Chains A and B, each alone.
Chain A
Amino acid sequence: MARLIRTEKEVEGRYEEVWLVVEEDALEQWPDGPLKIVGRGAPRVDGLERARGEARYTADVRLPGMLHTAVLRSPHAHARVKRIDVSRALELPGVRAAIGPGDIEQLTGEPGYQGAAVAAVCADTLAQARTAVAAIDVEWEELEVVVDPDDAVRRGQVHDKRERSRGDYERGLAEADVVVEGTYRTQTVLHNSMETHQSVAAWEGDTLNVYISTQFIWGVREEIASELELPQDRVRVVCEYMGGGFGSKNDPGDYTFIAIELSKRTGRPVRCALTRREENMAAGNRNSTVQRLTVGAKSDGTLTALGGEFVNALGWSGWNASTEGPMQMLYACANVKTTTWGAKVNTPPMKAFRAPGFVEGTFGLECLMDELAAKLDLDPLELRRRNYASNDATDDRPFSSKNLMECYRRAEPHWARRDEVRARSTETVKRGVGMASQIWYGGGGPPSYAWTRVGSDGRVTVVTAMQDIGTGSRTAMAQIAAEELGVPLDWVTVSLGDSARGPYASISAGSSTIPSMGPAVRAAAADAKRQVVEIAAQRFDKETRTLDVKNGSVICSDGGKWPLEDVVGLLEDAQILGKGARGPNPTGMQVLTFGVQVAEVAVDVETGEIWVERVAAIHDVGRVINALGAESQVEGGIIQGIGHTLSEQRLVDPETGTILTRTLDAYRMPTIADAPEIVSELLDIPDAHLTNLGSKGLGEPPIVPVAAAIANAIRDATGADVRSLPISREEMLRALREARERERRGAPAAV
């Protein structure tokens, strides 16, 4: 019988209560450790089509009669459209329609950031659409621009202010033997997925088809249906292959609504794709932060107080991500007080970017901890162990699982390389080692569903309307189904990416795809297997408890063995259909991911150049599904983190709000030449309380500690405190000068 419960759901650290129908016969978890297929390395099941250029991304969708769109985006960071005239644009060759402020909500007559969509034109070719957009006549009235987040807070120009405290912070500070303070700054960084944000909209009768590069097929469907007041089933959302999102593609975006409206007006399919330059302005970002942090501790390292004033520069809109999260959650400390401002400034809106808030907050907190360790003359790793949180530090809830101490233990051999690494320093190139801890969510949650279909040839198709954003979800789901059903991996096909073709599936954000979808797929496979076993029992006159499916055959404990295709083949054209749903997360428990990274750097103290030479990453994300794909996630997260730490920065003119970095030569992302040696180690200990899999997500954890580990290694190498990202050569040289000054004045350097 269906049982209705109320349960908690978390995405990116934001919680809500949801109703959920759960199945009574939940599956037991598999035994620990690598199984036959799950836990082993498997190359991507869709690797060949992606590598050969055969995979059809949204960028490759070509529908007959399709028109192309160009968008007029505000050249000003804050302005009012006094007059707009699209008539000249409409007269140009190939132009089919034009829309402006007021036609749809996503086109504004009062843009609050440079790049806000104001008007749009569609034409037979993209070149014609661009020419037409340039011919739109606009008269602007420029308005006052506020870019500095501290200035915005002083003016009371804020989206949100969040205060959190426990214990008595002031008393905690008074009890401290040592107090360390520091101001840390992180910059605005851009997702810059290789496939830009884009959609193709096409009406078919009263059904709207939307092809979109998205991380959340069902969220897009719901938002479009609600905005257009359509029944949800009249909106079909398709995303078969996706060229990266990193958090920026969770919603439909202005481009989708522009394409829909132009398609409605012209009766033709319409594509609206951001150019790379638009992508660098209007596609979301990791907001910059200012973090004024204080830590108090006893001389043995026991934390007595943690305090932080955080300012998130959200832009014109956005949500106030939990930059204080690591300070609140990572360590056992009785007295913690934080204030987090979400400043409203005239820059493009933030969007979630791979562990939003925690990447920034971990940089501040974990650098502060190292500065404290230096002051106390304590080993940084030991300091972290002494303040280990055995239960949730904020509300004392037990963790569903936490193996951070084991991560620390496994980090020891990497940490022990310190002397040897430092000894390889020269007169001008200094080397050092630093570490940082990782805490983040990643437990996933319900609802999520999957179906399995076993054909009379014994081959299996998993059907669910999830998306694979490039993380290898198709492969992981195929592994789970193959393991449960007892068939070889290449017998399983995963059909995903289309809301008309399968049941509701989770967002691919918040490291939730595997923990949300995996249990549903396993349940669906188990349902099909149960039916196979029941059919075999009746056909061969056996008891079901004596039967199992292994290696593509039904086997009996008495030695009987029948190939699956023979058993299912009895049914000729009939198919076996299984269904599965994701159960709830454990009640009263906190589900989090943990880890530690140890970075080795070299710093040229004459030029300020920094090389990250080696990163060891040890993470605890529960059961590992695909050992090879998981390693790729760890490497990718670390490399993206290196860009965040050393080179990437979206620059804005402080007076006008004009975006200065709009191209990929100006916005500097890591290349292959920047990739360090990476040693990745996943504990692979299933979370005994979490679902039928015990798996958590891995998309985000690897990027979380990167910046702090590198900054701490730089301090170890040079004695310089780098507190501002990116650590450009200029910033490095500034920090080195500051350290020399300090030494000259007689104060000992931090090392």
Chain B
Amino acid sequence: MPELRVNGGAYEVDAPVGTSLAEALREELGLTGTKIACNEGHCGACTVLVDGLPKLSCITLVHQLDGAEVTTIEALRDHPMVASFVRADALQCGFCTPGQIVSAVALVESSPEPTSEEIRHRMAGNICRCGAYPKIEEAIRTWRD
């Protein structure tokens, strides 16, 4: 049984080989903040951090993690990026939002004051069908306000 290290805790998960990280988080650990929207690595809704880097959890297999530390939206609830998204109205239906926020947190970790160009480049893997993009850009530009 693989051990999964998530948000500072360690869990034994009963997951057959081939189980995706997204599925294990949602079905085994009950961490449903990570959303699955395409389940094949095209939309970014399932983004989590693995050892601090953004990863698509729907195409990451549990058995490949090898002790890496996974951070999900549940551990970022009090991150200023969350408040910034709400303040800027950077979400509409909100289904893609946890993934957007995880990607945005990863972005500002490496580049605390990203330029517009950086934001548009680094966030292009997170689709928002409601089209909240202008406000997402604003939320990331003003995340420390």
- Indicate whether A675 sits within 8 Å of B124 (C-beta atoms), given known contacts A47-B86, A244-B93, A636-B92: no
Q: What B residues does A670 contact at CB under 8 A?
A: 131, 133
Q: Is the CB of B132 within 8 A of A636?
A: yes
Known: A53-B35, A53-B74, A193-B93. Contact between A639 and B133, CB under 8 A?
yes
Check if B43 sits within 8 Å of A194, measured CB to CB.
yes
CA distance in complex: A504, B67 (Å): 51
In the assembled complex, the CB of B10 is this many whole angstroms from the nearest CB of chain A, namely 21
Q: Is the CB of B129 within 8 A of A59?
A: no
User: A638 and B98: CB pair below 8 A?
Assistant: no
**Distance of B20 from chain A, by nearest CB (Å):** 11
* CA–CA, A62 and B28, complex, Å: 12
Which residue of B37, B42, B98, B129 is within 8 Å of A665 (Cβ)? B42
Q: Which B-chain residue is minimally distant from A639 (CB atoms)? A: B131
Contact A194 B131 (CB under 8 A): no
Contact residue among B39, B125, B127, B134 (Cβ-Cβ distance under 8 Å from A678): B134
Question: Are the C-beta atoms of A635 and B32 separated by less than 8 Å?
Answer: no
Considering the complex, give the chain A residue whose CB is closest to the CB of B119.
A672
In the bound complex, how far is the Cα of B132 from the Cα of A638, in angstroms? Answer: 10
Q: Report whether A48 and B82 are in contact in the complex, using a CB–CB cutoff of 8 Å.
A: yes
Q: A5 interface residue, CB < 8 Å from B?
A: no
| Residue of chain A at shortest CB distance from B139 | A51
Q: Which of A276, A471, A672 has the most CB of B within 10 A?
A: A672
User: Is A563 an interface position by the 8 A CB rule?
Assistant: no
**In chain B between 44 and 99, which residues have their CB closer than 8 angstroms to a CB of chain A?**
45, 72-74, 77, 82, 85-87, 89, 91-98
* Cα separation A52 to B43 with both chains bound (whole Å): 18
Say whether B106 faces chain A, with CB atoms less than 8 Å apart: no
Interface residues on B, range: 35 or more
Query: Is B136 an interface position by the 8 A CB rule?
Result: yes
B13 within 8 A of A: no
Closest to A41 in B: B89
Q: Across the interface, which residues of B come within 8 angstroms of A52, CB to CB?
A: 33, 73-74, 77, 82, 98
> Given that A60-B32, A196-B37, A663-B40 are known contacts, is A638 also in contact with B93, CB under 8 Å in the complex?
no
Q: Which residues of B contact A640 (CB under 8 A)?
A: 129, 131
CA distance A46 to B77 in the complex (A): 14
Q: A194-B45, A663-B40 in contact; A51/B89 too (CB < 8 A)?
A: no
Are A50 and B97 touching (Cβ within 8 A)? yes
Inter-subunit contact A672/B133 (CB<8 Å): yes
> Least Cβ distance of A596 to chain B in Å?
20
* Min CB–CB distance A725 → chain B (angstroms): 18
Supposing A48-B82, A52-B98 touch, asked if A194 and B129 sit within 8 A by C-beta, the answer is yes
Of A54, A192, A472, which is within 8 A of B92 by CB? A472
List the B side residues contacting A631 at CB < 8 Å.
Answer: 89
Nearest to A628 among chain B residues (CB) is B89
Judge if B6 is at the interface, Cβ distance under 8 Å: no
Nearest CB in chain A: distance from B89 CB, A: 5
Minimum CB–CB distance from A490 to chain B (whole Å) comes to 13
- Residue in B16, B77, B92 whose CB lies within 8 Å of A632: B92
Interface membership of chain A positions 451-472, coded 1 if the CB is closer than 8 angstroms to chain B and 0 otherwise: 0000000000000000001111
Given A51-B101, A53-B34, A672-B123, the answer on whether A44 and B93 have CB atoms closer than 8 Å is no
**Chain A residue contacts of B96, Cβ below 8 A:** 194
Inter-chain contacts of A275 with B (CB < 8 A): 39
Instruction: Provide the bound-state CA to CA distance between A675 and B132, in Å.
Output: 9
Within 8 A of B (CB), among A17-71: 41, 43-44, 46-48, 50-57, 59-60, 62
- Which 8 pairs of residues, A with B, have the shortest CB-CB distance? A53-B33, A470-B93, A50-B94, A639-B131, A243-B95, A636-B131, A47-B86, A664-B42
Q: What are 5 contact pairs spanning A and B, CB under 8 A? A: A59-B35, A632-B92, A670-B131, A672-B124, A678-B134
User: Assuming A56-B32, A471-B92, what are 9 further A-B pairs, CB within 8 angstroms?
Assistant: A51-B97, A59-B35, A193-B93, A194-B35, A636-B131, A673-B120, A675-B120, A675-B133, A675-B134
Which residues of B are interface residues toward A (Cβ below 8 A)?
A: 16, 26, 30, 32-40, 42-43, 45, 72-74, 77, 82, 85-87, 89, 91-98, 101, 119-121, 123-137
